[in-house]
Structures are given as C-alpha cells and as structure tokens.
Amino acid sequence: MMSGDGLVVRIRPRAGQVTAAQAHGIAQAAREYGNGVIDLSSRANLQLRGVRAETHGALLKALDALGLLDDDPATEARRNIVVTPFWSKSGVEPALAPALEAGLAASDLALPGKFGFAVDCGPRRVLNATPADIRIERSDRGKLIVRADGAQFGLPIAFEQAAVVALALARWFIASGGISEGRGRMAAHIRKGAVLPAHLAGTELPAAQAAPATTGLVAGGALVAMAFGSMTADSLEKLASAAAELRVTPWRMVFLPGSDLMPTGLGIISQANDPLLRVESCPGAPWCPQARAETRLLARELASHVPLGKTLHVSGCAKGCACARPVALTLVATSQGYDLVCNGTASATPVVHALSADEILSQPARYLGGL
C-alpha cells in the first residue's frame, strides 16, 4: 500500500510468531529497503514503512529467504488468523493453527478481505475484543468449540475437527449471502437474521473474558508495548536479543515467551502505567495522504492529561484506522482543525468542532479532563 512515506509492506507471521533470527532479518530489511520504521497492527501483523518501489522486489526476496511469504497473494490473503500469544507448546494451538492455515490454503474460499479467524483456546478468552468472524475457543465448561462471531453459543467439537468445522462455517457464510459488494462480517450477518444450520449451531457458552492485556511480566513471559504500536529496527533487534522467539499480538504489543526480564530503552514501554498507553494514533500527516493534520506529536503531548482508565484516540481523518472501537475521547483532524468526539468512534458526531492544536494544548483539562 502506498503511503506518505513510501510503500507500506505487511508481514503476516504464522500464529503471530517470529523467531529471533527472523526478527533480526526483518530489522535489517527495514533498514535496507525501507525507512527503518516497523508498525504493529491490530491484526498481529508487522508493517515495514518507507519501502521504495525500486527496492520492493528485493525486499520480497529477503522476506522469502526468511520463510515469511506464502506461495501466492491469494493464499496469504485467506490466511487471516489471529492466535492467542499465550499459547504453550503443550496446548492445542501449535497444531490447530497450521491445520486451519492448510485448510484455507487448499480451499477456493473467496472471503472478504477483513474476514478472519481467531484461535483462542486458553481457559479465558483473551481475543474477545479482537475482530474475528469465526472463533475457535473454549466453552465455560472447558470444551473446545467453534463459534460464529455474534452467536451466543459455540459448537463443541473434537480437536481433529476444529479446522474442518471452521471452514464449513465460512462456506455457510458465503452461501447464505453474507457477502455484499465484496464485503461482509459474520456478526453483522447474524444480526440481520441469518440462522445457522443445525449442524453448525452450538449449545456451549464461551468461556469468560480475561482482563485486558497490560505490559509487564505475565504468566509465561514478558509483554512489552511501543507508543502507537510503532517501533524502529533497533527496537525490534533489542527484543530479538531478549528472547528466542517473539509473538506479535493484536494489541500492538509483543510477547516474549520465557523471558523473566523486561527490556527497556529504544522506545520500549515496559510499565503498565505509562501515559502513552492511554493514547492511540495513526501516523497522520504527512505520512498518510488521507490525514488532514499531524497526530502523534499532539497525542504524545496530551497523553499525561488523559484520565486514568480512559483512552484518547487522535485520528488523522474520520476513518479512524488506528482504533475502530468507541473510546472515551477522540480527536479527529479535519480541514478546519480537530473535532472532539466523546464515547464514540472517529466517524461519530462531535461535541466540539474545529479546535486548533494550540487551543487543546493550552486547556487540556477542559477538553480531556473528567470525560
């Protein structure tokens, strides 16, 4: 995808996992073929920024040598799978995710670009807020289930059938008219009245939701963040030196399994109370051609003024790419200034229009405090 600083090239790690050697290779490629900036996406992908058209082919060869490319773009597009980063080698995820990948690769499913799968088989659901259309998870009684997003119940299945049932559910979605003009999501399809067939309808309630992930030492390793989910090649190399593998999460964080030390420096956020974790922001102008104004400098300056427990989203336009969910405070850049939205998304109706950055910074408590 072309952006204001060049091409943005997505890497979709399998199960969100990259080895330390792959991470070092990605960092080197980001420097050699891009501008050295690497973004973490909300789909557990890595994005290399500032890639030049003339070096794009060489970059793909470098990524292929690292084992990070699929055989063709269609296969890669179907492999839209988010896996809990907290899986263990003794769990079902190390075998289940590859089985689902193989099934998708062998299929001819023409799914919408954003249609995806979540593999979340721990005792508590950690991907409940992560967008996905078909979920493989645990029930409240510990059974493995496949559940259509938006459905109350999931279908209990044997491990060997999980990928098969998930693909059958995707085929039903297509056959039942879930796609319109190339778009469609499972939860919206069910809200409109689509009824699951008896052989795919479930009877098991999903497991309870886990608390939102926070940076710090957690069970099984260390969870670190970057401001706005953006890091440098140097930051990635430092993380790769701290663990044998890295797992990219859909929360724009990186999990270091087996690590009992928190890496610091080079923009790495290791404290859960860091104010920068209260703000979300897209790259903004001039890095995105659709952005109406700068975003991240303003977000950094406002971070300490965001009330505890609240989130501020500074968006370069009304698309709200950095944060699709409603949050307490959203500043949306327009051609006249910044509009303020409360308890909504970037496309919601503002309560205040056309604020300048200086106006907001001079009275942050007025616009951010206590909301």
> Mean pLDDT over all residues of the chain?
95
| Alpha-carbon separation of residue 268 from 53, 63, 361 (angstroms) | 30, 24, 25
**What is the value of pTM for the model shown?**
0.93
Percent of the chain past pLDDT 70, that is, above it, reads: 99
Give the per-residue pLDDT at 370. 52
Is residue 106's pLDDT more than 80? yes
pLDDT tens readout for residues 33-87 = 999 999 999 999 999 999 999 999 999 999 999 999 998 988 998 999 999 999 9
Give the per-residue pLDDT at 1. 86
Say how many domains are in the chain: 3
pLDDT band, very low/low/confident/very high, at 316 (cuts 50, 70, 90): very high
User: Is residue 259 exposed (0-12), middle (13-18) or buried (19+ Cβ within 10 Å)?
Assistant: buried
Mean pLDDT, residues 128-142: 96
Q: What is the CATH number of the domain that holds 353?
A: 3.30.413.10
Relative to beta strand 230-232, strand 37-40 is: antiparallel
State the Cα–Cα distance between residues 216 and 237, nearest whole angstrom.
19
Is residue 2's pLDDT more than 90? no
Q: Which of 269, 294, 327 finishes a domain?
A: 269
Q: 116: which 2 tokens? A: 């995806």
Same domain, 230 and 171: no
Nearby residues of 198 by Cβ (< 8 Å), 6 or more positions away: none
Is residue 3's pLDDT more than 90? no
Closest by Cα among 133, 156, 132 to 206: 156
Assigned domain for 82 exists:
no
Closest by Cα among 167, 174, 44 to 111: 174
* 148 strand-pairing partners: 134
Q: Pick the residue with more confidence: 315 or 287?
A: 315
Same domain, 51 and 135: no
What is the domain extent for residue 146?
Answer: 87-191
